[in-house]
């Protein structure tokens, strides 16, 4: 029985990933930056983004649903454009954070320039996100920065 439990745990951890991060959002319209810190857990079926500072927020993406839990403990589901944008952002965060997924993705082009990867998004995502720069060291993503068409940027720095 112990062997089965250990085997199941090994499978679970071999297919899941995650990382702590700092997020810096520049909002051009107000010419200001917002700083957040958190953790992302990624597995085959569920992605969870938990912001720890400046305030607690947990975003859970499971299949085609996204829910947000605030510091009060209230949970609400997203719909419409909010669902689409949040789902897209979590998906991009998951894929750009892993070096292997950058090399085998059909949703964007990747041009390598030394330890920098320039990502150009295709289809619907390309209408929102102009491009991204991914910084790699020893075949591991260290950080990435998203450039939006409206002049905003979002930078994720892995800890």
Question: In this predicted model, what pLDDT tens digit does every residue of 24-33 receive, in sequence order?
Answer: 999 999 999 9
Per-residue model confidence (pLDDT) at position 100 = 81
Please name which of 104, 126, 102 lies closest in space to residue 115, comparing C-alpha atoms.
Answer: 102
How do residues 102-115 score in pLDDT, each as one tens digit? 776 778 889 988 88
Using the predicted structure, report yes or no on whether residue 134 has a pLDDT greater than 90. yes
d(CA 36, CA 92): 17
Residue 145 has pLDDT above 70, yes or no: yes
Helix (H, G, I), strand (E, B) or coil at 4: helix
What's residue 44's pLDDT? 82
Q: Report the C-alpha gap between 57 and 159 in whole angstroms.
A: 19
Taking residues 73-93, what's their average pLDDT? 93
CB 69 within 8 A of CB 47: no
Using DSSP's 3-state secondary structure scheme, residue 108 falls into: strand
DSSP assignment, residue 72?
A: T
- pLDDT tops 70 at residue 77: yes
């Amino acid at each position: 029985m112990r062997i089965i439990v250990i085997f199941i745990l090994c499978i679970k951890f071999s297919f899941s990933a995650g990382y702590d991060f700092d997020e810096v959002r520049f909002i051009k319209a107000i010419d200001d930056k917002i700083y957040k810190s958190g953790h992302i857990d990624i597995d085959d079926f569920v992605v969870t983004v938990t912001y720890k500072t400046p305030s607690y927020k947990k975003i859970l993406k499971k299949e085609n649903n996204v829910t947000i839990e605030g510091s009060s403990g209230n949970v609400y589901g997203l719909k419409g454009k909010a669902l689409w944008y949040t789902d897209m952002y979590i998906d991009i965060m998951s894929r750009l954070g892993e070096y292997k997924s950058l090399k085998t993705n059909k949703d964007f082009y990747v041009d390598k320039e030394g330890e920098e990867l320039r990502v150009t998004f295709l289809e619907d995502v390309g209408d929102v996100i102009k491009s991204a720069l991914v910084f790699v060291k020893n075949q591991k993503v260290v950080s990435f920065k998203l450039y939006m068409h409206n002049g905003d940027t979002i930078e994720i720095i892995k800890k």
